[in-house]
Amino acid sequence: MSNLQFLIILLLSPLLQGIIRKMKAYAQGRVGPGVLQPYQDLARLFRKDMVISETASWVFHATPFIVFLSALAATLMVPVITANAPVLAIGDIIALLYTLALGRFFLVLAGLDAGTAFGGEGSSREATVAILVEPMMMLAIFTAAVAGGSTKLSVISRSMHFFDSPAHVLAFAAFFVALVADTGRIPVDNPDTHLELTMIHEGMVLEYSGRYLALLEWAHYMKQMLLFTIAVDLFFPFGIAGGAAQSVIFYAVKMLVLAAAMAWVESSRAKLRFFQLPSLLGGAFVLSLLSLITFVMLGR
Amino acid sequence: MLFFVVVPLAAAFVCLAAKKSPRMSEYATLAGSVIAAGWVLRLAAGAAGGTVYFSRGYTLYCDSLSAYILLIISLLSVAASVYSVEYMRGELKAGTVNADGLRYYYFLLNLFVFTMMLVPLANNLAVLWMAVEATTLSSALLVGLYRKKQSIEAAWKYIMLCTIGITFALLGTFIMYYAGAGVVGAHGEAGSLNWTDLMRSARLLNPATLRLAFIFVVVGYGTKAGLAPVHNWLPDAHSEAPTPVSALLSGILLNCAFYGVMRFAAIVGVSCGPAFVQDIMMAFGVASVVIASLFMLIQLSAKRLLAYSSIEHMGIISLSFGLGGIYGLYAALLHILNHAIGKPLMFFVTGRIHSVSHGARLDGIRGFLKMSPLTGVLGFAGIAALAGVPPFNIFLSEFLMLKGLAAGAHWYIMAVFLIASGLVFFSLLRGFGGMLLGKKAKNPLPGAEAELHHGPSHEAVRTWWPASVMMAIMGAGLLFLGLNIPGGIDHLITRSMGIFMGRGSF
Amino acid sequence: MISLAFFICGAVFFAITPKKGLLHYLYLLYAAGAGLAAFSFARALYDLGSPGAAPTLAFALHISPALAVSFRGGPLQDFFGLLLSVAAFAASVYSSGYMKDNAAPRFQGIFYGLFILSMGAVFLSGDALSFLISWEAMSLVSYFLVISDTESEAAQNAGLTYATMTHIGTAFIIGAFMLAFAATGSLDFAGMAAGLAGKSMALKSAIFILSFIGFGMKAGIVPLHIWLPKAHPAAPSNVSALMSGVMIKAGVYGVMLMSLYVLGGPGAHYATWWGIVVLATGAASSVLGVLYALMEKDLKRLLAYSSVENVGIIFLGTGAALVFYSFGQTALAGLALAAALYHAMNHAMFKGLLFLGSGSVMHGVHSKNLEEMGGLLKRMPYTGLFFLMGSVSICALPPFNGFVSEWLTFQSLILGSVTPPAYSKVVTLLGGAALALTGALAAAAFVKAFGVAFLGMPRGPKAREAREAGFPMTASLGFLAAMCLILGVEPGLLLRLISAMPFAGLAQMGSAAPFHSPLTVAGGFSGFWPAAIFASMLTGLLAIIVLAGVFGRRRKITYADSWDCGIKALTPRMQYTATAFTKPLRVIFKTLYMPRKEVRISFKQKPLFVSGITYRSDITPFMENYLYKPLTAFVGKVALKIRHLQSGSLPLYLGYIMLTLIGLLLVWA
Amino acid sequence: MPLIKKWIEIFGVIDFISIGMLLSVVAMSSAKRIESCLKAYVINSWLLALLMAAFAVYLSIPHLYIAAFFTIAGKCILIPYFLRKVIRELKVTREVEPYLSMPVSLIISFALVVLVYSFLAEGIFVAGVARNVLKISVSIILISLFTMMNRKKAVTQVMGLLFMENGLFLAGFSLTYGMPTIIELGVLFDMMMGVMILGVFLTQIKKSFVSVDLDQLTSLKG
């Protein structure tokens, strides 16, 4: 039974997206669409026909599936409401991140496949952001892993209740920046614009339509929720050890809090120019480095 | 048994007599060298078995060391005479020498070989000295064969420096005699210059006197052997002599001079302990290696490059000889052989390259490999060998020397040597790689350059099939000796080591 | 032994076969030999545990009564032998197609065979002399292969740099051997190991550092790597595959041999800083290597730089192992060592695959320049597919083999946090950070390589006419790609072989990955199950297909131009180029790259009517300019100074004689 | 006869002669004109021959007379004649054109003598009448070497070489009291051959370099 907890992410990730949008709308004094809007979007896209570039090769066709499947496989490795599920054995946090990276790899390729300038631009920027984000995410995770005495999310989340060392604070700060960048949100990327100068993720998927686009969007939602879940598993795992009902409630609350934080960030910050990103992400990198070193030096 | 040495002399005069046909002198030279070589092989076989040959009156003497050197000389003289045919025919066609000059050349060549063969056979140290001086005189004329400015200048410096140097050697010999005069020689007369007698009574000789003698001798013969810093004649002479002569000069003449040093060192080593001799020899060796490796970096002409590489190798020989011990001595003697195969081969290759290139400069030609693949491949084998790259033979002797250095804990010398060998490798590869590889083209040179070096260039590469066969054999020898040292040679070397180690010296 | 015979026959046949048309089939002989060798090595490794297991081969040859060379198989030797023979098998099969239309097949064929043989000899030689002989033979032969295009100046310069640097490296190796010889009186590796057991730390450290520099030169570690991106691309692709896949592993092998076997004899203890040095070098090599790979427009140079990166990763593992050994934490050391060995094998597979693939691409496009390619996936589908698999593996993405080894390396580096002192903790963890950065950069580099070469529109006529390569070539690519997948899904296969080695701590690794169950390390510190990840994806795919079949109705797919903002002709020149793709990184890392760009604008009529704009941008080779050029310049200056000693004046020379004499007299008096 | 022997012993004839040789060399090293160098050489050779004769008397070794005779024939007559011929052919100017001025070269030559004496002061013990001769001959050799370094003209270099040989012979006889005649003759022969060949090259140098200044013989360097 506990092996099916991945369904939560699979099914509820569009909802989370909807909630974030709603919160953003509130924060910006708009009404905004209903929280179920993403489901309707997906449904609509699934029903649509597709227009595909002649230049595109089979990589273009394979990418949506690979991205979706990699996200799916990744969800299997993360404890959502309980940390003792046998299925978690198939991968630790590193495996999880690299599985996600597989999806990103193909997404970037697909951006190049249509042979347009937009796609190339999106891919190039995505690759750059990834280069800046992945190491710092890894470092933040190192800290948690060293503290938790394992790279298994289940063990880490069981190992502590609330983050209890200065290292964790720094690590979480870094991880949060990574989160913002990886989910393609302001100030790194603007999820709801198609202005070719600013878009990153949207640039890559510009050529997609219909089901493929649906799959990609869904995968994107899943990835977002997945990362949120990792964040809570690593840094606020309290309650996950408890009974099912309790942990479900705890989980919901944590997700809402994170969503709120995200919405707040997005509406209070302005999008950064692309070449200002290094200063932001580099700063976060230093943070994560510090967290690691402080942990090694001070211990917990 | 030892009087076969007159064979080359006879050949020489046949050449001089053969006024009508240049062919005649060619055949005489070939025949003479082959006969002599055959004889020497018998001799060497005997010596490897431990036999020692004397002439009446003990003026001529042949033990394993002499046989070893003789073997090298005679085999190389065969190679040189075969190649001479190819080379001089080319020169004749090019008009750089006339028929008369050809005859003259062969006469001197045989004379030169004769004098060199005399060196290792001489038992009497004065006779040894005379032989060495004679080699200078005969080869000086060869160096000056083309009556061009450079060749004359080179010959002049050569004869001047070597004669002066050798004067000191004679002084050393006299002092040695004086040291021996006190001691009653084995054969009645008071004081003998026979190496055998001196060696027998070495323990009784006055060490201080012998040291003085050795100093003069090592400067004298060292000049001739091309040890830095008294090597200066060598690059000029080697680069200006006709190519076969250059091969003989660097292949064996240097070793003949060094042979003299070795004979003296044996006596001195017994009398006043090895340390003195070893320090001097190692100092000369290191100096030669360093200076040569630095000079090789800046050479523009192929033959000068090879000449400096000869200095480097003489340095290696001297260094290993100075090291002494089983490693050092074996390395030194083996290296003499190895170098005597590799260097002449490279000179022959260079000669062929020059037959089509504009002048002797390294940038005078590109892409020779395409023009004559066999020669090109042999050239690569040659530079690999000279740079001490396994699986070629020179690596083995260098490896033994390194073992000796390690055993003696001479770490600084080893470091210096390794760095120097890196430079040498680079220079050789850059120089010859540049000529062998690249697009087939003759870089036009300023006319002055062209006439200043070997005359006009032919169109086709000058080859003569026996010469090609001979060069191929030499190339194979490089590889073979790198993988296996024949028993006979091993015996010769080990017995010769006995000369230096037998009485507890070295 | 039999395989040896095959190789010799091959070489001989190359020498004698009269008809040039048949030559390329002879490579199949090599392939057969390599295949046999692979089997014998693998069997030897499997039998290691069992009693009375005979070494793969053991014999000695006498050079002279005093000198002998000996060759002996052993666990480490067999492992690298296996690595060699598998790669050689693929490369030989490939060559049988690739060499069909080649300039000088005869020499190349001979040297190719000798190259493989000499590498085998290096891995199997049992004493210093035989090692040096085979080592230099390997270098020499590979030099000839590098310059096999004798007409090209670039190849010559590459060859010259390569040969010289490797010769200098050998000098260091000789130094290390001689130190050991002086200390132990033995040139036999076993003898050295036995003799060095009780010796002083200073001596051991000297030996270690010398050998590390010497072998590092061959392995291409930063900053000794500059020959590598010159030489590897210059050789024909089947050779580059072996050079990058196997020959640089000879350097790795050397480091392992010296540090683990010779210096790691019975009861040996290590200095921690050895491991730290190796680790730091590894980190630097991996990051810098991939950073330069990222900037390359030349496909083969890109691959060569990525070899630098991967060697760096291998050394990260090795270094961690040495650190752990120095603290006696053998189990962790075993983990790190296993990671390094595993990555060595992996790199042989996917780098071989990629180089061979690039060979096919050049075969089709007749160019190494990425900017002239594009859209090749449609024209050469198989090559494209396999190249893609190779790229995915080299980016360490599951479910391919690269991920397994990098995962193991990550684990060992994180576990560096359990070493006692703080500095080793920090260094190992920073190594982990470097590895993470490397992974991300590698992904970008190979996205660029594959995306620009195979996707989008053809960027030139050459690319438009590209044709798929012949059967043997694609077949061998397929073989290697399959190996990548298998080693990625079932790590137990290789870990069993690795665990057979006698180094402390490796034994545990055998049980770490039993078949069909998760791979767990360090007593359950962590684990993952590659096969399961793969399976889950497949089932997911199945599910999607089923669902689509059940619920989804058939939708129509229309094919049209890409979105072009309305301008009616989207030309290839509007695509992102390789240079454009990496532009952001050039800006971000400008302190390292020191990019130089020039923009030339030609006007029809100033200032408004522009007829053409050319934009060139490239990067300053940091090491060459700031390390090597000054060095060579200095040596040259010294040589020119010393030239005055030989000024040509006779009196001066006489002066030398006199001075020498007087000097010696001083000594005497 | 025995009387003469006694005289030789008493008056240290041997020393006188050798000192005389030394002086002639110094004279040569500071001479201005080629002719005077040649004269110095002739004197030097005569003294050498005289020394041999003295030894022959003193030690009553008959074959030294032969050696002395050949020395006179070769060194005092043949070689000077040959050299004069060469000089005339080459039409070299009379000045020797040294690099260093006369006083300097004088000082240096004396410095060399001192050097040699200090070197050979101990270590090698030559007994008997010839006790000083070795030192003298070595200094002769070194001085002539220095002279060769100091002169621009190729001819004067040949002369320097000849002086070196004389010094050498001096040493030879003082140390060995005469080796087997055959060897002496061989050595003498070699020397003369050498001089002949040098003469040949001299003419060729003149032909192709127009002058016999050594400054011009520096095209081969590096």
D49-84 CB burial, b ≥16 within 10 A, e <16: bbbbbbbbbbeeeeebeebbebbbebbbeebbeebe
| C313 phi and psi angles, rounded to 5 deg | -60, -45
Residue C597 is classified by DSSP as E
Average pLDDT of the residues of chain B = 87
Residues 200-219 of D with CB under 8 A from C: 214-215, 217-219
> Over 60: is that where the pLDDT of A199 sits?
yes
Which of A63, A70, A94, A274 is best to mutate for the C interface (most C CBs within 10 A)?
A94
Element (H, E) at B250: none
Residue C50 burial (10 A CB sphere; 0-12, 13-18, 19+): exposed
In this prediction, what percent of chain B has a pLDDT beyond 90? Answer: 53
Distance CA B424, CA B414 (A): 15
The 10s digit of each residue's pLDDT in D12-51 is: 777 788 888 888 888 888 888 888 888 899 999 999 888 8
Distance CA B281, CA B133 (A): 22
Kindly indicate the confidence band of residue B448, based on its pLDDT and cuts at 50, 70 and 90.
very low
Distance CA B484, CA B479 (A): 9
Distance CA B302, CA B402 (A): 28
Q: What is the domain partition of chain C in residue ranges?
A: 588-620, 629-668
> Closest to D214 (Cβ–Cβ): which among C651, C655, C662?
C651
Cβ contact A57:C455 at 8 Å: yes
> Of the ranges A62-66, B24-28, B40-44, C509-513, which one carries the lowest mean pLDDT score?
C509-513
**Mean pLDDT score, A143-171:** 82
Look at D220 and B178 and tell me if their CB atoms are within 8 Å: no
The 10s digit of each residue's pLDDT in C282-291 is: 999 999 999 9
Taking Cα atoms as reference points, which of B475, B479, B474, B401 lies closest to residue B72?
A: B474
By the CB < 8 Å criterion, does B148 face chain D?
A: yes
How many separate domains does chain A show? 1
**Mean pLDDT score, B282-295:** 94
Kindly indicate the confidence band of residue C619, based on its pLDDT and cuts at 50, 70 and 90.
confident
CA nearest C553 in A: which residue? Answer: A47
Shortest distance between the Cα of C456 and any Cα of chain A, in A, equals 4
Distance CA B284, CA D73 (A): 41
Look at A142 and C414 and tell me if their CB atoms are within 8 Å: yes
Instruction: Look at residue D159 and give its three-state secondary structure.
Output: helix
| Per-residue tokens: B392 | 């070629």
Three-state SS letters, C131-200: HHHHHHHHHHHHHHHHCCCCCCHHHHHHHHHHHHHHHHHHHHHHHHHHHHHHHHCCCEHHHHHHHHCCCC
**Mean pLDDT score, C81-101:** 88
Distance CA D59, CA D178 (A): 10
> Over 60: is that where the pLDDT of B454 sits?
no
Q: What is the pLDDT of residue B415?
A: 95
Kindly indicate the confidence band of residue C495, based on its pLDDT and cuts at 50, 70 and 90.
confident
Look at B485 and C150 and tell me if their CB atoms are within 8 Å: no
Look at D187 and B126 and tell me if their CB atoms are within 8 Å: yes
Residue scoring higher pLDDT (B497 or C606): B497
Q: Could you list the residue range(s) of the whole structural domain that residue A19 is in?
A: 2-298
Distance CA C90, CA C480 (A): 7
| Per-residue tokens: D182 | 């055959």
> Over 90: is that where the pLDDT of C579 sits?
no
**Mean pLDDT score, A175-181:** 91
Shortest distance between the Cα of C151 and any Cα of chain A, in A, equals 37
The 10s digit of each residue's pLDDT in C292-303 is: 999 988 999 999
Kindly indicate the confidence band of residue D182, based on its pLDDT and cuts at 50, 70 and 90.
low
Cβ contact C584:A278 at 8 Å: no
**Mean pLDDT score, B311-321:** 96
By the CB < 8 Å criterion, does C645 face chain B?
A: yes
| C400 phi and psi angles, rounded to 5 deg | -100, 170
Taking Cα atoms as reference points, which of C144, C378, C142 lies closest to residue C245?
A: C142
Rounded to a whole number, what is the largest CA-CA distance in chain D? 62
Kindly indicate the confidence band of residue B505, based on its pLDDT and cuts at 50, 70 and 90.
very low
**Mean pLDDT score, C622-645:** 86
At B480, the amino acid letter reads F
**Rg of chain D, C-alpha, whole Å:** 18
Kindly indicate the confidence band of residue B462, based on its pLDDT and cuts at 50, 70 and 90.
confident
Q: Could you list the residue range(s) of the whole structural domain that residue B228 is in?
A: 2-501
Average pLDDT of the residues of chain C = 87
CA nearest B276 in C: which residue? Answer: C668
Q: Which of B318-327, C3-12, C576-585 has the highest mean pLDDT?
A: B318-327
Taking Cα atoms as reference points, which of D215, D205, D202 lies closest to residue D99?
A: D215
By the CB < 8 Å criterion, does B58 face chain D?
A: no
Q: What is the pLDDT of residue D36?
A: 86
Distance CA D100, CA D109 (A): 12
Q: Which of B25-39, C632-646, D94-108 has the highest mean pLDDT?
A: B25-39
> Closest to B414 (Cβ–Cβ): which among C178, C187, C654?
C178
In this prediction, what percent of chain C has a pLDDT beyond 90? Answer: 41
**Mean pLDDT score, D157-173:** 85
Flag whether B232 is in a domain: yes
Kindly indicate the confidence band of residue C280, based on its pLDDT and cuts at 50, 70 and 90.
very high
Shortest distance between the Cα of C634 and any Cα of chain D, in A, equals 18
Shortest distance between the Cα of C193 and any Cα of chain D, in A, equals 48
Q: What is the pLDDT of residue B358?
A: 65
Give the DSSP letter string of C227-251.
Answer: HHHHHHHHS-HHHHHHIIIIIHHHH
How many separate domains does chain B show? 1
**Mean pLDDT score, A118-138:** 89
Look at D157 and B299 and tell me if their CB atoms are within 8 Å: no
> Closest to D145 (Cβ–Cβ): which among C646, C648, C654?
C654
By the CB < 8 Å criterion, does A211 face chain C?
A: yes
Which of C526, C559, C574 is best to mutate for the A interface (most A CBs within 10 A)?
C526
Distance CA B191, CA B179 (A): 8
Which of B294, B296, B323, B327 is best to mutate for the C interface (most C CBs within 10 A)?
B294
Residue B484 burial (10 A CB sphere; 0-12, 13-18, 19+): middle
> Closest to C662 (Cβ–Cβ): which among D115, D148, D221?
D115
Q: Which of B5-9, B497-501, C185-189, C341-345 has the highest mean pLDDT?
A: C341-345
| Per-residue tokens: A82 | 């309980």
The 10s digit of each residue's pLDDT in B101-144 is: 888 899 999 999 999 999 999 988 888 999 999 999 999 999 98
Q: What is the total residue count of chain C?
A: 669
Distance CA C666, CA A31 (A): 105
Look at C559 and A52 and tell me if their CB atoms are within 8 Å: yes
Rounded to a whole number, what is the largest CA-CA distance in chain A? 59
First to last CA, chain C: 64
> Over 50: is that where the pLDDT of B367 sits?
yes
Chains with ≥3 CB–CB distances under 8 Å to C: A, B, D
**Mean pLDDT score, D146-171:** 85
Shortest distance between the Cα of C406 and any Cα of chain A, in A, equals 10
Residue B351 neighbours by CB under 8 Å, 6+ apart = B83, B87, B243, B244
Distance CA C543, CA C491 (A): 27
Cβ contact B202:B270 at 8 Å: yes
Which chain D positions have a beta carbon within 8 Å of C664's beta carbon?
Answer: none
Q: What is the pLDDT of residue A68?
A: 95
Taking Cα atoms as reference points, which of D53, D9, D48, D37 lies closest to residue D171?
A: D48
Size of interface A-C (CB pairs under 8 A): 242
**Residue D105 Cα distances to C650, D93, D99, D213, angstroms:** 18, 21, 9, 19
> Of the ranges B401-410, C504-513, D167-176, which one carries the lowest mean pLDDT score?
C504-513
Flag whether B506 is in a domain: no
Q: What is the pLDDT of residue B506?
A: 43
> Closest to C584 (Cβ–Cβ): which among A115, A125, A138?
A125
ipTM over 0.85: yes
> Over 50: is that where the pLDDT of C336 sits?
yes
Which of C141, C157, C188, C653 is best to mutate for the B interface (most B CBs within 10 A)?
C653
Q: What is the pLDDT of residue A66?
A: 95
Residue scoring higher pLDDT (B61 or D207): B61
Distance CA D143, CA D161 (A): 11
> Over 60: is that where the pLDDT of B445 sits?
no
**Mean pLDDT score, D166-193:** 75
Kindly indicate the confidence band of residue B452, based on its pLDDT and cuts at 50, 70 and 90.
very low
> Over 60: is that where the pLDDT of C1 sits?
no
Q: What is the pLDDT of residue C393?
A: 95
Shortest distance between the Cα of C633 and any Cα of chain D, in A, equals 19
The 10s digit of each residue's pLDDT in C102-145 is: 655 678 888 888 899 899 999 989 899 999 999 999 999 999 99
Cβ contact C435:C413 at 8 Å: yes
